[in-house]
């Protein structure tokens, strides 16, 4: 029930007083976006006036936007590598930030094949927590009664390492789940999870998933929303249920925990909640043993009101599969837009259709600039050197690359995301996530670019030399019809001596040779997280790529400028390639991966 109208918000009637406060905060920030941005930049620059990086650019203590923009360059991660390396090696002087760097957050974006290391400071946790605290008050405006049940969220921690200088390096969500902010969060009836902390915090992904699924099944009637950070994560959970429902049902029947669960804190915690429940076990067996898994989510969790998963950007490829498992009727809520560098903003209309999702950037999170994306002419050139604009100055309909200046010490840093302005909430713009720059293939958080793919092809091609064979043409496709999804690489081979063409075994090894060359996020997905399946090479018959060109030209491509696309997702093209496939090969083993960085 909504509270007293005195607490009402322009966003809608808040569900409780706490929500009213959060909604007021959103209103205040978005109404005063310009002033808040000015204040944020002044705060960042004044507290960091003496750091080495700002002194280098002779900012002289200035905190205004004009001086800042005229003196500091817009940079990419690679430009900061020397500073980041020094911090990683133990230099504790104020290089980027006057506040001590508390840890590194390992981004899923990579540089030279390894995850980017993002320095962060302790207080950033509060800022992230603040953004999280706004999500449920907004959701409660659209979905009433979420305090009457629970959320089944599949949340995981990943492995962490230490840099040579002793700083922790781990993903931002691992850092958050392990923080006191999360572990000792106060009880909030609108935010009760079925997964116990012990299960979320277990680093063994099998045991963590098993325990979270078990708890989700035990409380299936109470579950009002189901989620994971990304759509791929929720599908992985469904796949897990497909593979392990017998064991889960038998634990529920007997009230004892499977022997594969060895983590003492999970065992202890499950031991307290698990009681024999043959009726529930029978129900799970009945539903899961059916051939058809359509609508399995709503069959098992009948009170689910929505799915809480990001299905924007690269994750849009999972919408049809999620629709299949949920019966196509459950909304998919994309609640926030964030990164290791900074949490950016939230979706003020979370129950909208995935194609309509817009994120409102919260002006208090960092200082934001936007580099206009100029449309390229027919030679692929852009006309001028576009100048970045401020948050409140972006124009509806235009696309921009996001540039941030953060409290943790990134100054005019290009995030690599392209966003399109869809409108404004008060004076804060709202953005559609268009794409990540330079990403060709992505299954989960992996991001493979064209250069990495080419490099992997080169590495695999070496195995073909003794057969006097080379890769004539190639393209790729992220196959998300399998769970987990996997990369498919189409090869047209130039075989000079057909009596000595590469064997099946060699082509399988080529798959592995490609995987060995892909970035560490990809290899971690393969080895530790099981979120990416074995890479597949499909050899197509000779002349296929010429047919591909003919097809593109028939659809209006210029013959002079035609280039083989290195990634395809247009169904007729994928179908054409599949119909010309003469053999398919899969990686026979896991590539190498350890949490330690190679470089
Ligand atoms: P990471 O640095 O590994 O935390 O990844 C952050 C990146 O994930 C962002 O820069 C985006 O490219 C992508 N991302 C995060 N949130 C969303 C979202 N809601 N929709 C689409 N892409 C997102």
Measured in Å, residue 6 CA sits from the centre of ligand 1 at: 37
The side-by-side arrangement of strands in the sheet containing 399-405 is 336-338, 343-346, 359-361, 428-436, 413-425, 399-405, 367-372, 389-390
User: Does 97 sit in the ligand 1 pocket, CB within 6 Å?
Assistant: no
Q: How many domains does the chain have?
A: 2
What's 448's DSSP letter?
Answer: B
- Of the three residues 347, 362, 382, the one that is the final residue of a domain is 347
539 in a structural domain: yes
What pLDDT score was predicted for residue 249? Answer: 98
- Nearest residue by C-alpha to atom 21 in ligand 1: 313
Among 338, 359, 446, 525, which residue has the most ligand 1 atoms within 8 Å of its CB, making it the best to mutate? 338
Looking at the structure, tell me whether residues 136 and 262 fall in a common domain: yes
If the chain, 599 residues long, is cut into consecutive pieces of 10 residues, what is the mean pLDDT of each piece?
Answer: 60 94 97 98 98 96 97 97 97 98 96 94 97 98 97 95 97 97 95 97 96 98 97 95 98 96 96 96 98 97 98 93 95 98 98 96 98 72 79 98 98 97 98 95 95 95 96 95 95 93 97 97 94 97 95 88 91 96 98 87
What pLDDT score was predicted for residue 86? Answer: 98
Q: Which residues contact 218 (CB under 8 A, 6 or more apart)?
A: 194, 252, 273, 274, 277, 280
Measured in Å, residue 393 CA sits from the centre of ligand 1 at: 23
What's 6's DSSP letter?
Answer: G
What pLDDT score was predicted for residue 207? Answer: 97
User: Does 339 sit in the ligand 1 pocket, CB within 6 Å?
Assistant: yes
Looking at the structure, tell me whether residues 445 and 343 fall in a common domain: no
Looking at the structure, tell me whether residues 443 and 338 fall in a common domain: no
What pLDDT score was predicted for residue 380? Answer: 53
For residue 436, the ligand 1 atom closest to its alpha carbon is 12
Looking at the structure, tell me whether residues 161 and 304 fall in a common domain: yes
Quick one: tokens of 22?
């959060």
What's 72's DSSP letter?
Answer: S
Taking Cα atoms as reference points, which of 345, 319, 348 lies closest to residue 332? 319
User: Does 552 sit in the ligand 1 pocket, CB within 6 Å?
Assistant: no
Looking at the structure, tell me whether residues 337 and 451 fall in a common domain: no
Looking at the structure, tell me whether residues 303 and 162 fall in a common domain: yes
d(CA 159, CA 171): 8
145 in a structural domain: yes
Looking at the structure, tell me whether residues 479 and 334 fall in a common domain: no
174 in a structural domain: yes
298 in a structural domain: yes
What pLDDT score was predicted for residue 1? Answer: 46
CA atoms within 13 A on the CB side of 155: 23
Measured in Å, residue 228 CA sits from the centre of ligand 1 at: 14
Taking Cα atoms as reference points, which of 534, 529, 517, 532 lies closest to residue 592? 517
User: Does 108 sit in the ligand 1 pocket, CB within 6 Å?
Assistant: yes
- Nearest residue by C-alpha to atom 3 in ligand 1: 108
User: Does 417 sit in the ligand 1 pocket, CB within 6 Å?
Assistant: yes
Looking at the structure, tell me whether residues 330 and 450 fall in a common domain: no
- Of the three residues 291, 318, 347, the one that is the final residue of a domain is 347
Backbone angles phi, psi at 88, to 5 degrees: -60, -35
Looking at the structure, tell me whether residues 341 and 443 fall in a common domain: no
User: Does 229 sit in the ligand 1 pocket, CB within 6 Å?
Assistant: no
What pLDDT score was predicted for residue 322? Answer: 96
Looking at the structure, tell me whether residues 186 and 334 fall in a common domain: yes
218 in a structural domain: yes
User: Does 107 sit in the ligand 1 pocket, CB within 6 Å?
Assistant: yes
- Nearest residue by C-alpha to atom 20 in ligand 1: 312
- Enclosing domain of residue 282: 122-347
- Of the three residues 295, 319, 347, the one that is the final residue of a domain is 347
What pLDDT score was predicted for residue 154? Answer: 97
508 in a structural domain: yes
535 in a structural domain: yes
- Nearest residue by C-alpha to atom 16 in ligand 1: 337
553 in a structural domain: yes
Looking at the structure, tell me whether residues 452 and 333 fall in a common domain: no
What pLDDT score was predicted for residue 597? Answer: 83
């Amino acid at each position: 029930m909504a509270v007293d109208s005195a607490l009402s918000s322009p966003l809608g009637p808040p569900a409780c007083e706490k929500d009213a406060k959060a909604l007021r905060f959103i209103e205040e920030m978005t109404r005063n976006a310009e002033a808040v941005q000015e204040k944020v930049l002044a705060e960042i620059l004044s507290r960091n006036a003496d750091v080495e990086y700002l002194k280098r650019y002779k900012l002289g203590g200035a905190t205004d936007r004009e001086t800042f923009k005229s003196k500091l360059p817009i940079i990419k991660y690679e430009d900061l590598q020397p500073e980041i390396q020094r911090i990683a090696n133990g230099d504790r002087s104020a290089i980027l930030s006057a506040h001590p760097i508390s840890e590194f957050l390992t981004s899923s974006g990579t540089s030279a094949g390894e995850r980017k290391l993002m320095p962060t400071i302790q207080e950033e946790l509060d800022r992230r927590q603040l953004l999280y605290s706004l999500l449920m008050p907004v959701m409660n405006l659209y979905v009433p009664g979420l305090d009457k049940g629970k959320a089944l969220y599949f949340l995981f921690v990943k492995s962490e390492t230490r840099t040579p200088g002793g700083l922790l390096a781990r993903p931002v969500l691992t850092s958050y789940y392990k923080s006191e902010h999360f572990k000792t969060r106060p009880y909030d009836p609108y935010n009760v999870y079925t997964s116990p902390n012990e299960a979320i915090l277990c680093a063994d992904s099998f045991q963590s998933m098993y325990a979270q699924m078990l708890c989700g099944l035990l409380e299936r009637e109470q579950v009002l929303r189901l989620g994971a950070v990304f759509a791929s994560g929720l599908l992985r959970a469904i796949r897990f249920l497909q593979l392990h429902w017998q064991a889960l049902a038998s634990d529920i029947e007997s009230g004892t925990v499977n022997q594969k669960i060895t983590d003492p804190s999970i065992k202890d915690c499950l031991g307290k909640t698990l009681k024999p429940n043959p009726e529930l076990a029978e129900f799970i067996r009945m539903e899961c043993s059916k051939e058809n898994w359509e609508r399995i989510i709503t069959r098992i969790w009948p009170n689910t009101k929505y799915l809480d998963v990001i299905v924007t950007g690269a994750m849009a490829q999972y919408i049809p599969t999620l629709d299949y498992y949920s019966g196509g009727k459950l909304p998919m809520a994309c609640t926030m837009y964030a990164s290791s560098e900074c949490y950016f903003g939230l979706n003020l209309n979370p129950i909208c259709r995935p194609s309509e999702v817009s994120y409102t950037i919260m002006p208090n999170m960092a200082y934001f600039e936007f580099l206009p994306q100029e449309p390229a002419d027919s030679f692929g050139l852009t006309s001028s050197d576009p100048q970045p604009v401020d948050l409140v100055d972006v124009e509806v309909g235009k696309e921009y690359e996001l540039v941030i200046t953060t409290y943790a010490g990134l100054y005019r840093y290009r995030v690599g995301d392209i966003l399109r302005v869809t409108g404004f909430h008060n004076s804060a713009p709202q953005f559609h996530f268009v794409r990540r720059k330079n990403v060709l293939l992505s299954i989960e958080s992996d991001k493979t670019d064209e250069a990495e793919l080419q490099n992997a092809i080169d590495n695999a091609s070496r195995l073909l030399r003794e057969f006097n064979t080379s890769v004539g043409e190639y393209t790729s496709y992220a196959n998300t019809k399998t769970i987990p999804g996997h990369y498919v690489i189409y090869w047209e081979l130039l075989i000079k001596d057909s009596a000595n063409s590469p064997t099946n075994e060699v082509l399988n090894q080529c798959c592995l040779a490609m995987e060995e060359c892909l970035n560490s996020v990809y290899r971690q997905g393969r080895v530790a997280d099981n979120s990416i399946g074995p890479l597949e090479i499909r050899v197509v018959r000779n002349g296929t790529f010429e047919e591909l060109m003919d097809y593109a030209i028939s659809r209006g491509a210029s013959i002079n400028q035609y280039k083989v696309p290195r990634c395809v997702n247009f169904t007729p093209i994928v179908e054409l390639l599949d119909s010309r496939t003469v053999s398919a090969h899969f990686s026979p083993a896991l590539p190498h991966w350890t949490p330690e960085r190679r470089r």
